Amino acid sequence: MGIFENISPLDHRYRASEPELWEELSSVLSEEGYLRCQLQVEAALVQALANRKVCSQSVADEVSEACRKITCAEVQVEEEITRHNVRALVNCIRERVSSEAKPYVHLTATSVDILDTARALQMREAVKRWVVPKTQALMGVWLDLAEAEAATPQIGRTHGQHGVPITFGFALSEYISRMGTRLQAMASGAQDLRGKMAGAVGAYNASSLVFSDPMQFEIEVLALLDLKPAGHATQIVEPEYMTDLLHSVVSAFGVLANFADDIRHLQRTEIAEVGEEFRAGQVGSSTMPHKRNPWNFENVKSMWKAYMPRMVTVYLDQISEHQRDLTNSASGRFIAEILAAYVLACQRLAHVTKRLSVDRVRMLANLNMHGQLISAEPLYIILASMGHGSAHECVKDLTLEAERTGKTLGDLVSEDESLAAFLQQMTDEQKTIILHPASYTGASEEKARSVCTYWRRQLEEVDA
């Protein structure tokens, strides 16, 4: 079969567009990848039994060996008979081991002990191997660009309107700072995922029959997988650990989407301050050959629109009746998609941002579009700080006059007798700002650099 038979765009279109990354993600986030995690848990369980001398080490080795060999296809055949996925898995293991080992396979465990613990392993691994590194890579691209453009004047925009000047590096450092807190949340969220080995209703009923200290036994099994139990379990692990992790990923996706939105608007024909690089042979539009569409940035925003609402499913899955109903089972399988989509979007954004062309000349031209009108704010502040009683209204009147007469704000200030006394008090620096708005970037460069310095250091620590 071919990939284009698949129904999910994740498994055809976005697989085709990033085949290497998709293969990697598949190794953990696919059904096959999930099965591998389940088999790890089954093996750890028997190993913990061996550590306690309930069975021999050779039994544990046998089971461990069997677990390395089992495939999804094999389990699927068995599941068609049992109609129960974990029972099918257990049968497959037992078929591969000696009759001495058979009784110890899955001993004291309930299905969800395996499934939920495996899900924690799977998600943690996906976060460690791709979610965190791809986020770091993107932040690296942002850091390089923000530092390179730390002093590049750009007009600040609020409401889509020109406000006061910033630098482009300052604008970029916003995303570094915001993504930084997301990176930490995702990394610690994954680190804090929990497993369980507490049985069918979470009360250690089965394991209490075998051990006088079943809670300690659970700790031992999970420790072999570098996991801890939650404070309490029913048939399932407390859902909030996973809910928190997914919140961190979904909110990080929101930062991607905001950045993508920002950059695609800066590529508007009338603004044109940055541009997405086109490869040779690439077609912008099938009928408008001159267009250069910011389609990769649009794609990232669009993927966020597809995945962000799935957080509602995650919140719905917090609710499970009594010691568990199964209505979080199918829905819970889809969370792997959220991570895959985030990683794909992250890589795409890093790739295209690395090749972003920045048009500093255009940035400056845009900034100066309204001439000295941009200086209305500094003028008002300077006047007010000198004690002018109605600085705001005074400057507003001047701007209206400037618009009407075409004169510059600087000229109008010079001509206005009521301002003469204030003008005399102004420092040269203040006068420069009024005449040359591009110099009115406040602490933009300093802020951009300090954000970059801080997060370069932090990124190294998250790595470690």
Residues numbered 117-136 forming contacts with its own copies, rule: CB under 8 A: none
Specify whether 285 is catalytic: yes
Taking the C-alpha atoms of residue 288 and residue 267, their distance in angstroms, rounded to an integer, is 17
Q: Does 230 bind its own copies (CB under 8 A)?
A: yes
Q: Does 353 bind its own copies (CB under 8 A)?
A: no
Q: Kindly name the residue from 17, 58, 188, 285 that is annotated as catalytic.
A: 285
User: How far, in Å, are 3, 73, 105, 253, 330 from residue 8 at the CA level?
Assistant: 10, 21, 36, 20, 16
Indicate the residue among 51 and 430 with the shorter CB distance to its own copies: 430
Residue reference for tokens 């495939």? 71
Gyration radius from the chain CA atoms: 30
Q: In angstroms, what is the minimal distance from the CB of 183 to its own copies?
A: 11
**Exactly one of 56, 313, 368, 408 binds its own copies (CB under 8 A); which one?**
313
Region 183-202 residues binding its own copies, contact defined as CB under 8 A: 185, 199-202
**Exactly one of 68, 69, 360, 396 binds its own copies (CB under 8 A); which one?**
396
Residue 226, phi then psi, degrees to nearest 5: 60, 40
Q: Does 168 bind its own copies (CB under 8 A)?
A: no
**Exactly one of 65, 277, 325, 463 binds its own copies (CB under 8 A); which one?**
325
Report the C-alpha dihedral over residues 16, 22, 23, 29, rounded to 10 degrees: -140
**Exactly one of 73, 428, 461, 464 binds its own copies (CB under 8 A); which one?**
73
Taking the C-alpha atoms of residue 64 and residue 303, their distance in angstroms, rounded to an integer, is 39
Q: Does 421 bind its own copies (CB under 8 A)?
A: no
**Exactly one of 20, 53, 290, 464 binds its own copies (CB under 8 A); which one?**
290
**Exactly one of 120, 137, 143, 164 binds its own copies (CB under 8 A); which one?**
164
Taking the C-alpha atoms of residue 290 and residue 265, their distance in angstroms, rounded to an integer, is 18
Indicate the residue among 306 and 435 with the shorter CB distance to its own copies: 306
Q: In angstroms, what is the minimal distance from the CB of 153 to its own copies?
A: 11
Q: Kindly report the number of other CB atoms within 10 A of residue 57's CB atom.
A: 13
**Exactly one of 128, 129, 228, 247 binds its own copies (CB under 8 A); which one?**
247
In this structure, what token pair is assigned to residue 226?
Answer: 């570098």
Residue 328, phi then psi, degrees to nearest 5: -105, 10
Q: In angstroms, what is the minimal distance from the CB of 328 to its own copies?
A: 6
Q: With residue 217 as reference, give the H or E element that holds it.
A: helix 214-224
Q: Which range binds its own copies by CB under 8 A, 60-68, 104-112, 131-139, 351-359?
A: 104-112
Under a CB-based contact definition with an 8 Å cutoff, are residues 155 and 165 in contact? yes
Region 7-66 residues binding its own copies, contact defined as CB under 8 A: 7-13, 16, 22, 25-26, 29-32, 35, 54
DSSP strand E in 211-365: where? 228-229, 274-275, 357-358
Indicate the residue among 349 and 380 with the shorter CB distance to its own copies: 380
Q: Kindly report the number of other CB atoms within 10 A of residue 249's CB atom.
A: 29
Taking the C-alpha atoms of residue 393 and residue 365, their distance in angstroms, rounded to an integer, is 28
Q: In angstroms, what is the minimal distance from the CB of 421 to its own copies?
A: 15
Q: In angstroms, what is the minimal distance from the CB of 344 to its own copies?
A: 10
Q: In angstroms, what is the minimal distance from the CB of 343 to its own copies?
A: 11
Q: Are strands 228-229 and 194-195 parallel, antiparallel or unpaired?
A: parallel
**Exactly one of 61, 128, 228, 295 binds its own copies (CB under 8 A); which one?**
295
Specify whether 98 is catalytic: no
Region 360-389 residues binding its own copies, contact defined as CB under 8 A: 366, 369-370, 373-374, 376-378, 380-382, 384-385, 387-389
Indicate the residue among 224 and 454 with the shorter CB distance to its own copies: 454
Q: With residue 167 as reference, give the H or E element that holds it.
A: strand 161-167
**Exactly one of 316, 355, 360, 411 binds its own copies (CB under 8 A); which one?**
316
321-332 as b/e: b if 16+ CB within 10 A: eeebeeebeeeb
The closest of 185, 325, 316 to 246, measured between CA atoms, is 185
Q: Does 275 bind its own copies (CB under 8 A)?
A: no
**Exactly one of 38, 64, 136, 444 binds its own copies (CB under 8 A); which one?**
444
Q: Does 333 bind its own copies (CB under 8 A)?
A: yes
User: How far, in Å, are 128, 198, 308 from residue 17 at the CA level?
Assistant: 23, 43, 21
Indicate the residue among 149 and 317 with the shorter CB distance to its own copies: 317
The DSSP result for 172-191, as a single string, is HHHHHHHHHHHHHHHHHHHH
Q: In angstroms, what is the minimal distance from the CB of 321 to its own copies?
A: 6
What residues act catalytically?
159, 285
